[in-house]
Structure 1
């Protein structure tokens, strides 16, 4: 859902800006449902097998954590931007497992911006995304490249 007002265009994005994009609590049911559909390893779907693993219980798929982070990014900042599309993500790292009951929080920092060389109507925003749990431990980090519309 887009918030009221004009969307933030490329020129309105400042390098160095940090934004907290909210948090969500991950439930065991969500972990199992996501994993059964997209990443059906026993450590994500079978509590008994997961209890015997090095993790001692169910953990969320890293891809589930990544998807949750994107949702929080959209709600926190992307709905306000004049997003044309995503260009890719780099350096995806899962630092710690996400367990049932963990509350994950997303923060984005604008690393740099540059006008697109191939399309003068757009610009590229490069940002670092950090996802932490309720103990402020980093569980996921990555860099994102996003294409935004420029002012006319």
Structure 2
């Protein structure tokens, strides 16, 4: 999507994305090798009652779905950051995740007129409609 295609209160959806155990283990072993992400037997005895995906893996899935839904061929110029980041519930192998982005605001940059700024809330929901990821992202887009 181009900057001028975004508007306040717009909802953009994508998915589902199916989380596999192999993917959870691969990501965790490379980037977040805490036992509850990498050791099924120990994880079953832990607080979550089984293996869970790294929150950073969950962020990566959200990014993939945002790309598929809105950022491919968009004129995106990255992001200065997030307002907040929450993982209200864990993501587990076998979950089907859907992405929802709600545009909060769009505006042109005052300091760089060729950039537009989109403030949008990204959420992921599992197959039970449980919120498993929640953030507000600020994204730069070129303005034609």
* Band of TM-score, shorter chain: over 0.9
- Cα offset for 1:118? 1.4
Q: Are 1:107 and 2:105 counterparts?
A: no
For 1:2-151, what aligned pairs fall within 5 Å after superposition?
Answer: 8-151=1-144
C-alpha deviations, 1:34-53, integer Å up to 9, x for none?
00010000000001110110
How many pairs does the alignment contain? Answer: 144
- Cα offset for 1:81? 1.8
Question: TM-score normalised to the size of structure 1?
Answer: 0.91
- Aligned counterparts of 1:60 and 1:9: Cα–Cα separation in 2: 32
Question: Deviating runs (4+, > 6 A) in structure 1?
Answer: none
- Cα offset for 1:87? 1.8
Q: Is the 8 A contact 1:21 1:77 kept in 2?
A: no
- Aligned counterparts of 1:43 and 1:122: Cα–Cα separation in 2: 42
Question: TM-score normalised to the size of structure 2?
Answer: 0.96
